[in-house]
Chain A
Amino acid sequence: MSMTRVRGGAGGTSPPVETAPPGPKDDSSRSGHLRRIRADRVLLVVAAPGLVYFLVFHYGALFGNVLAFQDFVPFLGVSGSEWVGLAHFERMFGDPEFWNAVRNTLVIAALQLVFFFPAPLALALLLNSVVGDTVRRFVQSVVYLPHFLSWVIVVALFQQVLGGAGALNGWLSDLGLGTVSIIGNPDAYGPLVIAQLIWKECGWATIIFLAALSQVDEQQYEAAALDGAGYWRRLWHVTLPAIRPVIALLLVLRLGEFLSIGFEQFFLQRQSVGPETGEVLETFVYFTGFASGDFGYAAAVGLFKGVIGVALVYAANKVAHRLGEQGVYHS
């Protein structure tokens, strides 16, 4: 601490050689930094644990991607393992199982975009049209709840209702209609995972749409109503144009995260339908790395997906800025 005081004096040990950012005039740049660190030391100490966390678990993990260029053996560690250059990536491009995972990921991502994206908007419009506050609050409380349940619970609930011995098949056979096979049936897997996602997240996702709907100018509704517009015409000519920027922004951001279809949901159900249908990129990484011990190859596939993901998010943000909105990484 005394050191900073000495440096602060005129003609300290460090002459200002580099072109320093314009700081206090009577200071050399280094002692200027030290003085500012000293002035903000309490704030910097308070921030330190969080910063250390980001350095270790995010930037450390970023560095850990070197595995993708190694024939990694856990026992030997990063320094002891052999470098293989781009061999893992070459293998990846020729691996039919990898392409199968890519295809499944794209199919599920497309299904999510088409069927999950509009669902909260529809629910929000329904909720917004409910005039009674009590009813609306009650329904909101109910539909937000599944967001807080873990995927293990959601998958268990769906098994209980739709499974072979579940409620649905119980009713169907009581009615003499036979039974349907949904859980564990590869043909039903796509609709099943979308239904699960809608059940879990649709209510929660209405929040942002409801916030946008509450901003719509009520005078416009009134004017439209006086001109004789009924509910559907008001919806089409007033409501939707008013919230169009929000819809566009969310759509763009969703496209940026197109490949982020989730992991736990697919990890839990891959076995029940088999890898042919159930393997997505992230489960592919898991089973290659942790089940088969092929860490280098798994890291390469993970890195590949990560890089594409960054490119998509970056492009989406550019578009979002173009739309005159703040993107995700501008705060």
Chain B
Amino acid sequence: MSRTGAAPAWMGRPTVAVRVAKAVALTVVVLLVIFPLWTVLATSLADPQTVIENGGWVVWPGEFSFGAYTEILQGGIITRAMLVSAGITLVGTALSLACTVGLAYTLSRPKVYGGKPLLLLVLFTFLFPPGMVPLFLVVRSAGLFDQYAALVLPFLVNVFNLVVMRGFFQSIPPELIDAARIDGAGELAILRRIVLPLSKAVIAVIGLFYAVAYWNRFFEAIIYFNDQTRWPIGTVLRQYVTGGASLAETSGELATTSPQSVQMAVVVLATLPIVCVYPFLQRYFVKGVVTGALKA
């Protein structure tokens, strides 16, 4: 019964027309996803002459030019924003994982003191997410204005991720944990030596979800930060690419780079870290999402 790549006998051979139609459909889907990314990459790498001749966008860069990248990575606002985003992503993901693992583990133990009410307390927030203005009030009164913590603390634990992780912890055979306990291991030792090593995949997936969310967050910096030099890359990108602001003031010599290339280089830099970690974690996340969706 198991599929070994070949079609089962009952399926019969699909006609040529069906196979062609399927191939065309799949190709179109793949191209629709890849083309926008490709043209952005190509435009960022094209030399200014090619960009101007093509009216602002290119499919083939012609002569490669890294001018756009050397220009924005020379230590200006983009460099700074990349570093801010990287820092927030690293620190935020570590803190989020620690808090999520801790809370999920406790809520996954049967008969823990207050387990049921605490679980309801957490799940209720799923129903009524905090509004934009009240959350702003909390952040403000916590003194987080112009603090990088304002981009981390309000998003520390995601309920969906928590529920997925709790579900995974619950699926660990209780015999393993009981055996460790009989051997005299305390709760922390059980968590560290039994539970966490078994949960590497789910931690990787949820770590990815957190990291992507931190890296992509741009809106909060607009309302919480007066100091624009502290903006993360997403917020800067919005300013230059969709907010209508021009990069002309940051790009010194327009003869060596075109403004379009610089803009697209910013898009590429904001996208790059995600595209880079994606293949490594991809094999895990289908499992993570499906378990989560079924549990939730």
Contact = CB atoms under 8 A, between A and B. Distances in A.
Contact of A78 (B35, B112, B113, B137): B137
B130 A62 contact: yes
Say which size band chain A's interface belongs to.
35 or more
28 contacts: A36-B113, A47-B106, A49-B98, A50-B102, A51-B103, A54-B125, A64-B134, A74-B140, A131-B5, A131-B11, A139-B30, A141-B279, A144-B285, A148-B274, A148-B278, A150-B218, A151-B216, A152-B216, A159-B241, A166-B56, A207-B289, A207-B293, A218-B1, A222-B8, A289-B132, A290-B136, A302-B133, A331-B296
A245 to B, nearest CB: 12
A236 interface: no
A142 B29 CA distance: 9
Nearest to A327: B296
Contacts of B106: 43-44, 46-47
A167 B187 contact: no
A148 to B, nearest CB: 5
B113 A268 contact: no
Contacts of B105: 43, 46-47
B167 A331 contact: yes
A156 B133 contact: no
B156 interface: yes
A51 B102 CA distance: 10
A186 interface: no
Interface string B20-56: 0010011001101111110110010000000000111
A178 B206 CA distance: 48
Interface in A13-61: 33, 36-37, 39-40, 42-44, 46-51, 53-54, 56-61
Given A160-B57, A302-B133, 15 more contacts: A42-B188, A44-B106, A49-B156, A54-B125, A54-B157, A64-B134, A67-B133, A126-B29, A131-B7, A139-B26, A148-B274, A150-B218, A150-B270, A208-B289, A306-B129
B129 to A, nearest CB: 8
B100 interface: yes
A328 interface: yes
Interface in A132-150: 132-133, 135, 138-139, 141-146, 148-150
A276 B258 CA distance: 35
B interface secondary structure, majority: helix
B121 interface: yes
Contacts of A40: 112-113
A42 B112 CA distance: 11
A306 B296 contact: no
B163 A331 contact: yes
B219 A267 contact: yes
Top-9 shortest CB links A-B? A64-B134, A50-B103, A61-B130, A150-B216, A47-B106, A302-B131, A157-B36, A46-B102, A225-B10
A152 B237 contact: yes
Contacts of A57: 130, 135, 138, 153-154, 156
A210 to B, nearest CB: 8
A267 to B, nearest CB: 6
Contacts of A59: 125
A211 interface: yes
A116 interface: no
B193 interface: no
Interface in A267-309: 267-269, 271, 282, 285-286, 289-290, 295, 298-299, 302-303, 305-306, 309
A199 B33 contact: yes
B186 A42 contact: yes
Residue in A58, A158, A282 whose Cβ sees the most chain B Cβ within 10 Å:
A58
Contact of B134 (A54, A61, A166): A61
Nearest to B95: A49
A331 B296 CA distance: 5
Contact of A161 (B39, B55, B135): B39
A177 interface: no
B126 interface: yes
Contact of B107 (A47, A78, A306): A47
Interface string B201-238: 00000000000100111110001000000000010011
Given A53-B156, A153-B237, A285 B133 contact: yes
Interface in A213-233: 218, 221-222, 225-226, 231
Contacts of B34: 142
Contacts of B6: 131
B99 A150 contact: no
B254 to A, nearest CB: 17
Contacts of A148: 212, 216, 274, 278
Nearest to B279: A141
A160 B58 CA distance: 10
Contacts of A144: 282, 285
A219 B56 CA distance: 55
B18 interface: yes
A329 B26 contact: no
A23 to B, nearest CB: 11
B197 interface: no
B271 interface: yes
Interface string A299-321: 10011011001100110000000
A182 B39 CA distance: 18
Contacts of B162: 50
A226 B10 contact: yes
A143 B212 CA distance: 17
A152 B286 CA distance: 25
